[in-house]
Amino acid sequence: MTTVYVFNGPNLNLLGVRKPEVYGTTVLADVEALCATAAAGHGLELDFRQTNHEGTLVDWIQEAGAAVVRGEALGLVLNAAAYTHTSVALHDAIEGAQLPTVEVHISNVHGREEFRHHSYVSPVAAGIVVGFGVDGYALAIDGLVRKLRPVRSA
């Protein structure tokens, strides 16, 4: 079965506790369950991970890119969190792996502090989902599938 990857960056392990007025009260395990349901609806397996370490994300992106090349995976949904705004390394990893990626953010980063308005991930992303809360993850999975497996008219 084909896999969809969902990778989460720093502090998302604190989801539900950190700034609930911005990120809500849903915990990361609930997001994983939401993603598993969305993936299963498309006949996909889910590989869901979180790390606070940039280099680990780079390694995982390269791993996912290799799985796509082998035909074992569809692509990546990435909430790089703060690394979105700082990491050229993530940009280069996604680009180098030629990994179909949908960038996701729980909050509307464009309505927040100025430094959150820039993304190093966006230029190499197939799409972006911003501001829909944790439901954005399911929207991102749906969008990735629709982009890479377009429905053909009869």
Q: Which residues are annotated as a binding site for substrate?
A: 79, 85, 92, 106-107, 116
Residues ≥6 apart with Cβ < 8 Å to 45: 1, 2, 3, 4, 39
Q: Which of 5, 105, 120, 137 is catalytic?
A: 105
- CB atoms under 10 Å from CB of 87, counted, come to 19
At 76, give phi and psi (nearest 5°): -130, 135
Q: Which of 5, 23, 83, 120 is catalytic?
A: 23
- CB atoms under 10 Å from CB of 64, counted, come to 28
At 137, give phi and psi (nearest 5°): -65, -45
Asked if 42 is an active-site residue, the reply is no
Asked if 23 is an active-site residue, the reply is yes
Classify each residue of 136-146 as buried b or exposed e, where b means 16 or more C-beta atoms within 10 Å of its C-beta: bbbbbbbbbbe
Residue in the structure block whose two tokens are 């720093």: 10
Indicate the DSSP class of residue 151: P
Residues annotated as catalytic are: 23, 105
